[in-house]
Structure 1
Amino acid sequence: MLDQAALDTLFINARTHNGWLDQPVTPTQLQQLYDLVKWGPTSANCEPARILFIQSAEAKARLVDCMAATNADKVKAAPVTAIIGMDMAFPDTLPHLFPHADARSWFAGNQPLIEATAFRNSSLQGGYFILAARALGLDCGPMSGFDADKLEVAFFAGTTVKVNFVCSIGHGDVAKLFPRSPRLGFDEACKVL
């Protein structure tokens, strides 16, 4: 079992950040981040997530233009914002990623299954992304306030990738945190049958 300090880092003391310190996120950190994310389980090892790390001023301006007004300044201030996408052509990678069975055939001609699987599993990978970033000493600010159609035209035009969510990463400014919001207790959210 992880010690209390690790649990605090990953869950208990971790916060969703809205403001950022002027500290860079290095290419090495981005590589380390993905190298942790890729080990998270997905169904049939399908790994549909595709991640764009937005760091340059030009790319950041395009992303800001796609964000809801409440999130635009967050993206402007963040050293890096990741677009967590989902590749709708993920079944094509299954012969390589899941060689134990003809998993690609499970999805042939079944667009609703492709979409549900891509969304569910890229969301899982997005959760691993947040935990991996925290494990590396980075803070996260996940967001869903954006114009998906506009974002897909700006960043994924001509591809099979659709956006799932956006997550800024860096070193959070604790002075800009909101007060901690409550969480549901076990008896409110869980049942043991």
Structure 2
Amino acid sequence: MKYTIKKLLAVALILMFAIFLNGCGENGSTATTAGLQTYEGGEFTISIDPTWKIINQSDFYADIPKETVIAFTTPEAYDGFFINVNVIKENLQQEINAIDYGRANINLSSQNLTDYEKTQEAEIDLNGTPALVHIFQARLNPTEKLIRFVQLYATKGNYGYIVSGGMLPSTPKEIRDQVGSIVTSFRLR
């Protein structure tokens, strides 16, 4: 894999604190049930809360890796932290199944993140496409806040996709569940 999981997770943190200040558009979505809207991302769809901000690549700061395709963030911070979901597309240079891709990323997380603690791991089916969900808590470095992550790993051809939701562990259950629903709504076309 071209980039380490630490750099990819750093993208999530940067998006939560810095990218939010940039302007963002709200196009490419259609209404769905359960209060979420389907965002059409070309190669994928994902259901998001219609009140969340959509941050496109054109709005990213220069230090955001080009592998980050899109980010969605709450309009207001919760306890000083912007809850978000982002999609990363990584060129793997070869085909690999989603389960192996996910497990490799989980291994990197456990080795490279401070205070890493796995909460749950599960294989799921995305309309016939296998994927892996990983829920964990960690700090990107010892001075950062502890963050609860919900990540989904999927692959198609030579590309790996990481859909990552980030929030504080103290985030209310209703919002944690919503982030989990958003992450697991991801579908490749």
Indicate the structure (1 or 2) with the bigger Cα radius of gyration.
1
**Greater percentage in helix:** 1
**Greater percentage in strand:** 2
Identify which of structures 1 and 2 has the higher relative contact order when contacts are C-alpha pairs closer than 8 Å and 6+ apart.
Answer: 1
Question: Is TM-score (shorter-chain normalized) higher than 0.5?
Answer: no
How does the TM-score come out when normalised to structure 1? 0.31
